Structure 1
Amino acid sequence: MNRIDMLNNGLEATTHLNECLQVDQEHLFKVILTPFCNEQLLNKMLSVMNMNNTASGILSKMKIIGKVLADTFVSYNIQDEIYRCLSQHISDTARGWACFILPEKKPPLSLQELLIQIQPYAKDNHFGVREWAWMAVREKLCSDLTVSIELLSSWVTNPNPYIRRFAVECLRPRGVWCKHITELKTQPDIALPLLEPLKNESEKYVQDSVANWLNDASKTRPNWVSDLCERWVFESNTEFTKRIVKKAMRTINMPHKGK
């Protein structure tokens, strides 16, 4: 069995983005779900997935699969068993599906409950699962930014750098592969409780997220970002802060044609 077959049959985890994109999610879905349901129910789920998958992007597929699983098994006694199987699966794609089940749960989880349940994925050892974690909950967090930022403010002081990074990455104004957050593009200051504690962050993984957040904001509020970065360097003139600021200011400092 070759490498791609191993991934498609849920026998190994991916090691880089290209492998993530190559996984045949429909085949993997059949492999994992067949022990839990009969052929008729499996085909019904696959039909719903294909009918709703109007976009070909991987994020769209992940969202649809999470919703199909949540909707299908809400009235079955095996719902928790299936979720437990996915959450502990060796396949990072399967663990990603588990992430996307959470915002679709019925009855809906509160924002606090959602964050509690997504945290294991936010600190998963696999890079892909950590990305699926914030993408899965971003939309629900955006439904009430005030509460979300308040809840996440304790995450940015967590000893685990993956948790700190999640708290920033999930609410980037122009997050990768997802819808922009207009309120944070125009009023980035409301997210200061997530940014200020990390101005002297030592982990590059977290530094990059903070810098990218500010770079996002600089495209709509350049003066605000410039002023903040200037203050940060004044208050914390360390190599860590300097690196964050340099990366955060890259769009602002980019040479413009015609000058």
Structure 2
Amino acid sequence: MSGDAPALLKDILGPRALETIADAGSKAAPRFDRGVFLDAASGGLDALSIMERVRHIADALHLALPGVYTARLDVLRAIAPRLTHGFQAIAITEYVARHGLEHFDASMEALADLTRFGSAEFAIRPFLAADTPRALAAMTRWTNSDDEHVRRLASEGARPRLPWAARVPALKADPTLAAPILEPLKADPSLYVRKSVANHLNDIAKDRPDWLLARLAGWPQDDTRTAWIVRHALRTLIKQGDPRALALIGVGHGAAVSVRDFAVVPATVRLGDRIAIGAEILSDSSDNQRLVVDYRIHYARAGGKTAPKVFKLKSFELAAGDTAALRISQTIRDFTTRRHHPGRHEVELIVNGQTVATGAFDLLSN
């Protein structure tokens, strides 16, 4: 079989990236020890994952950077603009995370400066864990920054369930602690920031849904930017068919519709095949209806158990007496977060939180 193997994520921080960081360090500070950095950073690199490489490079920088810590922060500020990939800059911010806690305020200021080159969302977690009120106070001030990267760091860095990041005990115990950060960002002009705010709120939905629904009910949605955040923040609860979440986006629980020709094809597949899900939705109402249509697959598991997962299909307005044809397809393949097992997979079509049709497909063993 010919063709190149797909690139691995960890290779973003491979030998070429190390050379780039070394060159940037040498240009930023004549006393930067390029050789020491490359020797330390290269050693054992092949066996490390992407985030392990981030930490490994940060420790190599510790050996190569000249001067005292506060002077090293200035060198990092000079290195960052010379880098060529965001993950290289994340390795730079990780140096601050691993070696800057004793210089709390200077380190926080440095992270705000460095985040525009590669998000400092991971690097800020040790500071939140070490002194949550102090870190959150600084991050709340960042919400007034003219730089969207800094405003986004305020929200993203404090997410209770930030992927790939260390958990912060205080935020795990009370995920609403960052509310003073989210409030001033609820109509942020930057989509980059709004996505982070919505993701942060969606994190909270998984632990404190009542709090989230009460807070969002008080947000005026006459601003399209706020309305966008609310819709995306509620996505987990909407997938669960929560009537309160549906009401907040102007959707009733359930709908006056009929379903025709619901089908999941083919009926039998193997790993790597595609399934198609299709149906016609017919309005039974004399009024227009706003519909949120999802589908749920009950994935077969060992021992006869199943694991349901909801997927978005479409949100739209259905005119009185009208009909809409819906169709979506997906490949049945393994992910690091989901492994498939042979067996029957039930499929539900969900409209406004209620199941309106069911089908199934059988996954055969390869």
TM-score (normalizing by structure 2): 0.54
The range that moved more, 100-109 or 190-199, is: 100-109
2:62 aligned to which of 55, 70, 73: 70
2:102 aligned to which of 89, 105, 108: 108
Q: In the alignment, is residue 228 of structure 1 matched against residue 223 of structure 2?
A: no
Checking the alignment, whether the CA contact within 8 Å between 2:22 and 2:34 is kept in structure 1 is no
Cα RMSD of the aligned pairs, angstroms, is 3.3
Checking the alignment, whether the CA contact within 8 Å between 1:134 and 1:166 is kept in structure 2 is yes
Checking the alignment, whether the CA contact within 8 Å between 1:198 and 1:210 is kept in structure 2 is yes
Counterpart secondary structure, 1:178:
coil
Equivalent position of 1:117 in the other structure: 110
Percent identity at matched positions?
A: 23
Checking the alignment, whether the CA contact within 8 Å between 2:187 and 2:225 is kept in structure 1 is yes
Q: In the alignment, is residue 154 of structure 1 matched against residue 141 of structure 2?
A: yes
Q: CA deviation at 1:231?
A: 1.2
Counterpart secondary structure, 1:214:
helix
Separation (CA, whole Å) in 2 of partners of 1:71 and 1:152? 30
List aligned pairs for 1:173-252, cutoff 5 A.
173-233=160-220, 236-252=221-237
Q: CA deviation at 1:242?
A: 1.2
Give the number of equivalent residue pairs: 229
Q: In the alignment, is residue 170 of structure 1 matched against residue 157 of structure 2?
A: yes
Separation (CA, whole Å) in 1 of partners of 2:37 and 2:188? 47
Separation (CA, whole Å) in 1 of partners of 2:200 and 2:76? 32
Structure 1: stretches of 5+ with no match in the other structure: 1-17
Equivalent position of 2:48 in the other structure: 56
Change (3 A) 1:42 1:179: closer
Equivalent position of 2:12 in the other structure: 23
Change (3 A) 1:249 1:75: same
Separation (CA, whole Å) in 2 of partners of 1:184 and 1:55? 32
Checking the alignment, whether the CA contact within 8 Å between 1:70 and 1:101 is kept in structure 2 is yes
Checking the alignment, whether the CA contact within 8 Å between 1:172 and 1:181 is kept in structure 2 is no
Change (3 A) 1:19 1:205: farther
What are the superposed Cα offsets for residues 40-84 of structure 1, whole Å, 9 maximum, x if unpaired? x4575147x52xx79732122112211232145467999679646
Separation (CA, whole Å) in 1 of partners of 2:194 and 2:68? 44
Q: CA deviation at 1:138?
A: 1.9
Q: Which has the higher contact order (CA 8 A, sep 6+)?
A: 1
Structure 2: stretches of 5+ with no match in the other structure: 1-6, 27-31, 242-307, 309-347, 349-354, 356-366
Separation (CA, whole Å) in 2 of partners of 1:54 and 1:109? 33
The range that moved more, 197-206 or 87-96, is: 87-96
Larger of the two Rg values belongs to structure? 2
Higher helix share: 1
Separation (CA, whole Å) in 2 of partners of 1:114 and 1:83? 11
Change (3 A) 1:196 1:84: closer
